[in-house]
Amino acid sequence: MEKLTLSLCVQGRASFIDGNYLANEILSHMLHLQTFHFDIVTQYITINEEPRPCSDSIRRTFTEAGRDTDCYVDYYLNGTGRCHVYSLPFTLERIRHISHSFPGGMFINVRILRVFDMYPFENAFFARIALAFPLLNHLTISNAIKQKKKSSHQLENSEEESSIIEYPHLIELVFSCVHIDYVEQFLSSLNTRLPCLSKLHVQYEQLVTVTESFTRNATRINCAKLKHITFHEDVNLEHSKDFYIYFPLL
């Protein structure tokens, strides 16, 4: 085999997968390999050693082998850790889910992304995502933790637009087990611009709250082109006139 693309999520190990492990356990058995692209997550790992591995030390194990790589590491309150390491330039259309520690970069090929964390996502994180994945089509957000910083109210008062984030190619947005702050973050045009959004997956009550029962102008712009809305529960919309006025293309 001369070319290998590896997308892998591993859990239950005693350590993170680093450059030394890949070289000794995988690449040493592939003597004819010329091209190797990878996207590897090691998660739910309990690290007992001190000091605990950091992104710099893990990245160094790849750079010493001549591989252009980036990575980041998260440690959680339950004592477990997660490491995400990937080769550069990144060639896959889908990347393993990323956390708030994602350092950014340029991922021109990625079209599908999921963000998940046990720490809150703030506005700066979503700005970093928009820059890193400029051609993103599908985004899934999974985070039940309330944001510490909010920008909508400040924008409504100051009318500043410098911090508005745009996802120019995003077609489908999925809110999966999220705090309502993230529905506000994306549907309010005071925070985010979604000019191509046509598919939305959301909890009905959260949508009602954020749109102020389908009357709020700040969320009307990002909802105007929606053609499909999937709710996480059964909802009777038979007599909801405001709903269909608010979403004219449904």
How crowded is the C-beta side of 14, counted as CA atoms within 13 Å? 2
CA trace torsion 65, 67, 71, 73 (10° rounding) = -10
Cα distance between residue 87 and residue 109, in whole Å? 13
| Closest to 166 measured CA to CA, from 210, 127, 202 | 127
pLDDT at 212: 96
pLDDT at 152: 54
| Closest to 192 measured CA to CA, from 165, 227, 159, 223 | 165
Cα distance between residue 31 and residue 100, in whole Å? 37
In DSSP terms, 7 is beta-bridged to 39
Residue whose structure tokens are 């506005």 = 123
Each domain of the chain, given as residue ranges in start order, spans 1-89, 93-250
Give per-residue pLDDT as tens, 154-184.
445 444 445 899 999 999 999 999 999 999 9
pLDDT at 159: 46
pLDDT at 162: 54
Which stretches of the chain drop beneath a pLDDT of 70? 151-162, 238-239
DSSP string, 22-50: HHHHTGGG-TT--EEEEEEEEEEEE--SS
pLDDT at 161: 47
In DSSP terms, 139 is beta-bridged to 113, 173
pLDDT at 47: 83
| Closest to 30 measured CA to CA, from 53, 7, 4, 69 | 4
